[in-house]
Structure formats: structure tokens, C-alpha cells
Chain A
Amino acid sequence: MQRIVTFVLLLSLLATVALAADLPKLRVGYIPEPAHGLYFVARDKGYFKEEGVDVELFQFGSAAEGMAALKAEKLDVGTFGTTAPLLFISKGSDFTFIGGIMIGGQAIITRPERLAELSGHDLKVYKGKKIGLVKLSTGDVVFKGALKRAGIDYKKEVTFVEFGSAAAVVEAVKKGAVDAGLVWPPHFSLAEKNQGLKVAHYIEEFYPKYTCCRIVAPTAKVNADKETYRRFLAALIRAYKFYKTNENETVAIYTKSLKIDEEIIRNETYVKKVAESNPDPLRKGILEFWQHILDAGYVPNDYPIDKHINIDIYKQALDSVIKKSPKDKTYQEMLAFYKKNN
């Protein structure tokens, strides 16, 4: 009897392995930011496999390296910010935005003694100030977009000082070389924890639901195998529901996968909610972001970016998930969000 049980178990194990081996594969690149954690939830909870896609995750130390890997076809999917894919596309690279992984997340830090001066919910407090930033980072582009929306001529009324990295921005704020600095997760949390700096504002306060890291893939691959990309996005949609409804386990998965302090992850993700892990493509947000880049004069020529955004695959993925759980509140909210932002 024992032999039969062992044999059956072995057979089922082999069948599982064979099934995984038969699944279409996607090589997915990401950068180590807490809000990119949906990938790990989808992997650890088995959603990728359940949806019928075999995903291998690759961490990159810089967006430029990640985009180069995507261009060299060493990856099938990548999430490397919004600027990087836009720059590549505007130079002729044929990538398509198919989804997102992060919304929001940018913060303005300052020294504790400057906090009162920068308080309140009016961007006018930044008039006449010197702001450190990393050129073309999400914070740079979106903050300038927020200033423009608020009617502030940032080219004349604010001084921007550009640095090569978020760490250099933090250092400049600490030294007093700038009045405030724009950084992203987990840099502002680390700056608060390790350097004694303070967050003056999250840009979300002035510019709700702005786009951050987008999911892009080579257009030819997307067009050749839409079904695999739909499965991939369906798994992320289910991971989003898990993240919205299972705080402790999500924090544990993010912490284990990203090796970032658990307290920082919990704080950014669930306490202050400075960034949201969300797979929606946010088409309108991408187009606004591109316009902000043009307005800032970073790129001389417009480009038909909209031709490189595919919202249909995400919609099909969302529909397929909703079909299985038609009354699920989270999925219905995602559908409403999709309709509003695409």
C-alpha cells in the first residue's frame, strides 16, 4: 500500500513539474522598490502558475541596465520606471506599455528645522526654493507637472539642482546645499531613519494617482503572444487583491524578496501608503508624463507615444478574473479605476 501511495505521489510531482515545463515562459526584469512587490506575491502565492505562465524574475540595479536587457531580448517584460521606456520608445525602440506596477511614491525631504517653512498644502511654499533632484526621475517630472498645474512657472520661480543619484540628493539636503530634495522609495524612509531628515510632502498630495513604474514589453512579442501576457497580468491582478486584503503576509513577502527593512515596507505600503502597487496601465497618466517631459524641455521632439500603449490586454485579463469572481469588490474597484484612467 505504502508503495502505491509513494508511486502516486511521485507521479503527481512529475506531472506538476511537466506542467510547469510546458507553460509559456516570461523573463521579467524589475528594480528593487517595495511597490514592485506584486511580482513576488504572484510568484509566492502560485498565481503565475495557476494562470498558466511560467515567470522568472530578474532584479536589476539600474533602469538603464534593465532597458538594455529588454532591448537585447534577454527579457520579455520589464518595469524600469516611466522615463526610461519613454526615452527608448521616443528613439525608435518598439516597446509597448501593457500595465503598471507602481503608482505614486515620490516625496520631498528636508531638514527638520525647515519643515515648518514648507508645511501646508500649497505648492507656493516651494517658490524661491532650491530643490535637489535626479533629472528625469519620476519625482522630477511629476513635481514639475504639479507645479505647472498649480500655475507656478517653475522655470523662473524655483531653482532646481540636478544630482546623479537619490543618495546624492539626500546628502545635499543634509548638508544644506539645497532647501529640499525629491526622492523615491525607499530613499526617503532611509533618509528619515538614518539621516534624521523629514518628509515635507508626498507629491501625491498635489498630484493624485500619478504614474510611476510601468510594465513594458517588446511590441513584436506582445503581438505574437497576447494570451501569455494576459495570463501574466491576470496573475498580477490577483496579487493586487491579495496585497489589498492580506497586510501581514504581503509585508512578509515583500521583505523577504527585496531584503528591505520590514518596518520601512509596512510604513510605506500600509501606514503612510506613499506608493501603491497597482497593475493598471494608467494610459492617461503615461501621456501626461510624456507631456511633462516635453514641457520641461528634456526632449526636443514629440513622439506618438499613444501608439505604444496597449490597454486591451489588461482589460481582457481583468475581465477574465472578474468572470471567475463577479461579485468581488476589489476587482470591481479595479474595473472602475481602469475606466477612469485609460
Chain B
Amino acid sequence: MIRLLVTTVLMATLLLTGAAPGSADQERLFRLGYLDNLGSALCRIAQLKGHFAQEGLKVALVRFGDSQGGLAALEQGNIDAGAFLVGEGLRAIAQGRGFRFVAGGGLLTATGPLAELDSRVQQQLDLSGTVVFIPATGPATEKETVTRLTAALIRAYGSSRQQPDILPLGQSGADQPITRFDPSPEYYRLERLWKRLALQSPAMPADFLANHVYEEIYCDALDRLLEDSPDDKLLQELSARAVCVPDCCPKNKNPK
């Protein structure tokens, strides 16, 4: 009788602590592609610091030599998501390859005398920033899974800020671009690049690019983390920068 009672209490505790909701994702291996450069560092930090596990995801990192190979693997279903170059991704989307942007990554800022003289140096670097893509469909595109992936990358951003030398990233040297991180997919930044590359064709609807940027998932992930840590300064800073549709309703009034 006592054993039964203890077992019941243990099972109830397990359910209440939230171990169960993550179990389905934990069982499934999530394959995340990345480039071996500084821009993909948030993915590597999330793995190193256990942030994917914190979000209930079991992740295997898959290294790629270039974005084209990574995007092809994403299209073929060999990986579930990938952190690749934004310029390559935008061009692929314009060609009808239905990738979605779910999170940001490394952004490059030009330094040195040439950068000061020629704005094209920075423009080129803007296209070499890193963003995280998912395919349009597939088991890994379920909203909850993508929200957890994004939340883990936001956590990784926090770790990178608290511990800048967390990875031996090898960034230094005169005239080398500076990498800073931003986990947001930020629609308006992507829109600027989209326009600069003149990728909008007359046949595309006006919201073609917006349909490929899941900014609301980033907002959901941020909200979720902020609910747990409302006083976290880094999360507040990210929230202040994000352009999210505001929450409207008393939680207990949601019938659906």
C-alpha cells in the first residue's frame, strides 16, 4: 500500500515538474546544422552549456563546410534546422525553396580603414551574418519544438554575454570584422537585405518575405523565458529590441 502511494506521488511529482512534456522531444534526435565559423557560435554554446537539454531537446550538431551544402541537406531532410549565411538563405527563399527564419546568430561589423572608405565592405558582411533556418514542413517544424530550439539559442546568447571566452572562437586581428550576436531573426533587418538584393519579384505577394520569418516564435520563446525570469536584464534587453505583437488577454480567460 505504502509502495503504491509512494509510486503514485513520484509519478505525480514527475508530471508536475514538467519532465513529461519534454520527453517526446528528448527521445527524438534533433539534427542542427552549423557552419564552422563564429556566426554559428550560439548553436555550439547551446550544446556546450546544455541549453538544448534545458529546453527538453536532444540535439546533434552537424557541421557543414558551406551554406549551400547545409541548405541542400535541410531541403532533403537530412537535418532538421541549420545556422547558415543569411544572404544564401534569402536567395534560396526567393527561388522558392521554402525555408523559414526562426532565429538569428552572428552579425559582422567591418573594421579598419577600408571599411570606413567603402560602404560596400559592410554591405557584403551583412550578407555573411548567420541565421537559423527550418524547412517549411516536417516533424521538426512543430511550433513547440521550434520554440524550444529558439529558447535554447536565447539562453546561449545569455551565456555568451556572461562568459565571453566560453568558446575558443579565434576572433582577433587588425581589420578583422567584429562579430556580435543577436538571437532574433528580426524581420526588418532581413527586409533591408531582401530589398538591397532586389529579390522581390512582381509575382510574389507583398508579404512573401514576412511569410518566411517566424518572428512570433522568437517572441513566444522570449516571453516564456521572461515568465520564468522576469528580472533578467539580458532578457529584458532582448524584449525591448524585439517587435512583437503584445499579449492581450488574461490567461484564465482563454477558452481554447
Contact = CB atoms under 8 A, between A and B. Distances in A.
Chain A partners chain B: yes
Interface of A: 31-33, 59-64, 67-68, 80-81, 83-84, 87-88, 91-94, 134-137, 140, 161-168, 171-172, 177, 184, 186-187, 190, 258-260, 298-301
Nearest to B219: A64
B243 interface: yes
Contact of A258 (B227, B253, B254): B253
Contacts of B253: 32, 61, 258-260
Given A59-B255, A164-B227, A301-B188, A92 B246 contact: no
B239 A162 contact: yes
B3 interface: no
Contact of B206 (A32, A94, A166): A94
A92 B239 contact: no
A135 B208 contact: no
Contacts of B220: 64
B244 A135 contact: yes
Contacts of A60: 249, 254, 256
Contact of B245 (A33, A64, A166, A167): A64
Contacts of B244: 64, 135-136
- Interface residue SS majority, chain B: loop
B203 interface: no
Interface in B197-256: 205-210, 216, 219-220, 222-223, 226-227, 230-231, 236, 239-240, 242-251, 253-256
B48 to A, nearest CB: 28
Given A64-B219, A163-B230, A164-B223, A81 B207 contact: no
Q: Which 3 A-B pairs have the closest CB atoms?
A: A61-B254, A92-B207, A92-B206
Nearest to B210: A91
B230 A63 contact: no
A134 B206 CA distance: 29
Nearest to B188: A300
B187 interface: yes
A182 B15 CA distance: 36
Contacts of B222: 164
B201 to A, nearest CB: 14
A318 B20 CA distance: 55
A92 B205 contact: yes
A60 B207 CA distance: 23
Contacts of A81: 245-246, 248
Interface string B188-202: 100100000000000
A31 B246 contact: no
A64 B248 CA distance: 9
Contacts of B254: 32, 59-62
16 contacts: A60-B249, A61-B253, A88-B207, A88-B210, A91-B210, A92-B206, A94-B205, A137-B248, A162-B236, A162-B239, A164-B223, A164-B227, A167-B250, A171-B230, A301-B188, A301-B191
Contacts of A84: 245-246
B249 A62 contact: yes
A164 B207 contact: no
Contacts of A165: 223, 227, 247, 251
A166 B208 CA distance: 32
Contacts of A61: 249, 251, 253-256
Contact of B249 (A31, A83, A299): A31
Contacts of B247: 62-63, 134, 164-166
Contact of A136 (B206, B208, B209, B245): B245
A136 B243 contact: yes
A187 B239 contact: no
